[in-house]
Structure 1
Amino acid sequence: MKKKIIRPTAAEDAAITKAAMADPDSTPFTDEEWEQARPTMVRGRGRPLGSGSKEQVTLRIDKDVLDFYKSKGEGWQTFINQVLGEIKKEAKSISVVEKKIIKGNLISNKLKIAA
């Protein structure tokens, strides 16, 4: 059953507003105070806002590889993204990455230390 909202009458609303205005501990915000407070308001519950530049994908990864990254704890997906981004920056093209995989030296010393 849908809950019914009971709205105060104009007279009740005026009495509530008058009582609130008379209370020195609860003065209402002015428009300028609301404008100052609005940028500092924290977003409530729910999924955090994304960067807008990421795309959700389904990816099949070997269990041992996935367990390795999950062992990092909180932020393991971001960590995978950072590792792949570093490889992309270092390689500049996918053919360079393919050649490094074939030769067995995909990860540079810099990444081996980070992992």
Structure 2
Amino acid sequence: MNEKPTIKRSAADRQTGKTNWQQVDALSEAEIEEAARSDPDAQPTEAGFWENATLQMPEPKQLIALLVDREVLDWYKHKGKGYQTRMNAVLRAYMEAHRQAEDRPAS
């Protein structure tokens, strides 16, 4: 049995982030634009870049019951929040590697 108690949280318990919204609200348009221009990850796009853009929603995840070794589960959980996402990423990488191998012509 798991030694840690189960903790349930509601939206009312949602934690606030570390963003100082008063400071953000006090920024002028010019300051925001300058911050964006100086950010290498926020470079402007060309005029037509968004013309044919469409919203792509990810497929919802499927809820399953999966039996895994305790040692495997403990290792992933020890890595912290998001362990199920990491487990899914490993399974996806395995699937994609084998899918590529299946698509290769036999020699």
Q: Shorter chain as normaliser: what TM range?
A: 0.3 to 0.5
| TM-score, normalised with respect to structure 1 | 0.36
| TM-score, normalised with respect to structure 2 | 0.38
Q: Which is bigger in relative contact order (C-alpha 8 A, separation at least 6)?
A: 1
Structure (1/2) with the larger helix percentage = 1
Structure of greater Rg? 1
